[in-house]
Structure 1
Amino acid sequence: MKKSLIILFALAAVACSRKMQVDRPDFGVSLDPARRVADTFVYRLGDSTRFQFNGSVGNIAFYSGETGKRYDSRSTTYQLGKVTLSFSSKSEFGAQTNTLQVLATNNLPGFDSASVVNAAWKDISSRGKLATSATVVPFGTADLTDLVGNANDSLFIAFKYSGVTGTTQRTWTITDFSVNNVLADRNIALSTVAADVAYWTRYGNVWDPANGRWTPSATDLKITGGNASAATNTSWIITRPLYVGRIAPDVSTGVKSINEPDKTEYVYVYPAPGVYRATFIAYNHTVDEEKSTIREFIIKVTP
């Protein structure tokens, strides 16, 4: 019995130390040689780019080389361009003035009410136009780059409402809210009302009636002022932290998965003229190991 146990433990030890190995993919890609000019394959807009495959591989991913689909940008990166804010507003009912402030800070130590009220907010209301009536007014595109230190910095935008008892308080609606990091080759959306509807934070000294506070929806931010007898009301709504220089990883297109048969080609039509680096990643993997083969081509698409 003792000898049997020793043999079983020995076999278990050998099994645990043995990794599931995998072979590097034997994978080739080719294009029509008649399209080749030096190191570039040239196509006209609307042509089908036919990538011919040979070999057997478990998985294939494709980066077309377009913006947002580049192999070299497959990891999160940081780059600061111009940080911009835009939105539209309208102000209904009553005649109270200076009831809305647009504020920004890159230093918000906490989301408790004391931290919010005492933060080093910069009033940026004058960097654009605010409504004075029920007519919708575009704020314009305000440059906020001076409010952040570098690509790793964060930024918070706040709308601060003030309504005073004694006369009808104003009702404000904010639409088309957008914060962007504008780079030379693309705009990185940092925040929109629709994307961040679940992430706005609200504060106030009095919410009576209950609609006397900011309400975010997929289309707008809104606060409804009280009547002349309503209490004086100060109400805030604040974005989540906006990481101004963060650029999400570019994405690939899945061409083949391990449970699919081998493919002989992949056809892609580039939607615009330009020069693109097309990249295929072929890889085999187990739970213990992964090995890959990379094939790249320079594609030029002419009008």
Structure 2
Amino acid sequence: MKKSLIILFAVVAVSCSKKMEVETPDFQVAMDPAHLVTDTFIYRLGDTTRFRFSGSIGNIAFYSGEAGKRYAGRTAGYQLGKLTLKFSTKAEFGAQTNTLQVLATNKLPGLDSASVVNASWTNISNRGALATSATVVPFGTADITDLVGNANDSLFIAFRYSGVTGSTQRTWTITDLAVNNELPEKTVSLSTIGTDVAYWTRYGNVWSPANARWTPSATDLKITGGGATAASNTSWIITKPLYVGRVPGDVSVGIKSINEPNLAGYAYLYPAPGVYKATFVAFNHTLDEQKSTVKEFVIKVIP
């Protein structure tokens, strides 16, 4: 009995320590040679590019070569391009002036109200246009690259409202906000009202009336001022920290997984003229390792 147990334990130990093997995919891709000129496949806009597959492959991912879908850009990193800010405003009721300021800083020592009020803010209100009535006014696209030091820096955008007792206070609505890092090959979105609705932070010294504070929603930022007898009010609303140079990796489309039958091919329609590097990555993997085969094609789409 003891001998049997020893043999059993030895088999289990060997089985558990054995690494699962994986083979490099035997994967081939072909295109219609009639479209080949030198080393580039030429197609007219509206033509479908067709790829023929051969081999037995577990998984296939496709990078079309369009902006945000390039194999060479698959790794996340940091790159600072042109930082831009845009939004639209409208100002309703009353006639008080200079009640909204647009501010920015890359030096915010804390997120408590004292740190916010005393931080070194740059007033960028004059880099665009603000509404003076209920007519919606686009701020324009402001270049704010000068407000950060490098690709690893962060930035906060704030809207500071002030209403004074003695006359009807203004009601402000901000829409269509977008902060972007504009790179030569793609634009990285850093903030919009809709995506960051849960991350706006509000500060103020007086909440009278109770609604005289910023309210973020999926479509706008709004603050409703009080009547002539309402107390003077200063209210802030601030973005989350915007990591200005953080660039997510480009993405692929999974066109086959290991539990699906082999594909005979794949078809893709490019939406615009240009030169693209289409890339297929075939890979087999286990818990221990992954092996892949990469096939690339230069495709030119002409009008």
Scaled by the length of structure 2, the TM-score of the pair is 0.96
* Corresponding position: 1:186 with 2:186: yes
Aligned to 2:260: 260
**Alignment of structure 1 residues 2-151 onto 2, 5 Å:** 2-151=2-151
Q: Which amino acid aligns with 2:199?
A: Y
Write out aligned runs for 1:208-227 (5 A).
208-227=208-227
TM-superposed deviation, 1:5 = 3.5
Alpha-carbon offset, residue 68 of structure 1: 0.9
Q: Tell me the secondary structure at the aligned position of residue 14 of structure 1.
A: helix
Residue aligned with 2:7, SS: helix
Quote the Cα distance in structure 1 between the aligned partners of 2:146 and 2:98: 25
Q: What CA distance in whole angstroms lies between the structure 1 residues aligned with 2:200 and 2:167? A: 29
Aligned partners of 1:45, 1:19: CA distance in 2, in Å?
49
1:28 Cα deviation from its structure 2 partner: 0.4
1:296 and 1:77 mapped to 2: Cα distance? 23
CA distance in 1, matches of 2:143, 2:274: 30
SS in 1 for 2:14: helix
Q: Distance in 2 between matches of 1:239 and 1:156?
A: 6
Deviation of 1:9 after TM superposition, in Å, equals 2.7
For 1:95 and 1:40, how far apart are their aligned partners in 2? 64
Find the counterpart in structure 2 of residue 282 from structure 1.
282
User: Which secondary structure state, in structure 2, belongs to the residue aligned with residue 29 of structure 1?
Assistant: strand
Q: Partner letter of residue 245 of structure 1? A: G
Contact conserved, 2:68 with 2:186, CA < 8 A, in 1? no
CA distance in structure 1 between the aligned counterparts of 2:59 and 2:85, rounded to whole angstroms? 42
Aligned to 1:272: 272
1:214 deviates by: 0.3
* RMSD across aligned positions (CA): 1.3
Counterpart secondary structure, 2:173: strand
| 1:28 alignment partner, SS class | strand
1:270 Cα offset (Å): 1.1
Task: Tell me which stretches of 4 or more aligned residues in structure 1 moved more than 3 Å.
Answer: 1-5
Contact 2:77 2:249 in 1 (8 A): yes
Stretches of structure 1 that go unaligned for 5 or more consecutive residues are none
CA distance in 1, matches of 2:57, 2:185: 35
Give the gaps of 5 or more residues in structure 2.
Answer: none
Q: Is the 8 A contact 2:181 2:189 kept in 1?
A: yes
Percent identical: 75
Deviation at 1:76, TM superposition (A): 1.0
**Total equivalences in the alignment:** 303
Q: CA deviation at 1:109?
A: 2.0
Q: For 1:102-156, what per-residue CA distance to the aligned partner results, in whole angstroms no more than 9, with x for missing partners?
A: 1000111221112211211111111112122222222122111110111121111
User: How much has 1:62 moved relative to structure 2?
Assistant: 0.4
Give me the whole-angstrom Cα distance separating, in 1, the residues matched to 2:47 and 2:96. 61
TM-score computed with the length of structure 1 as normaliser: 0.96
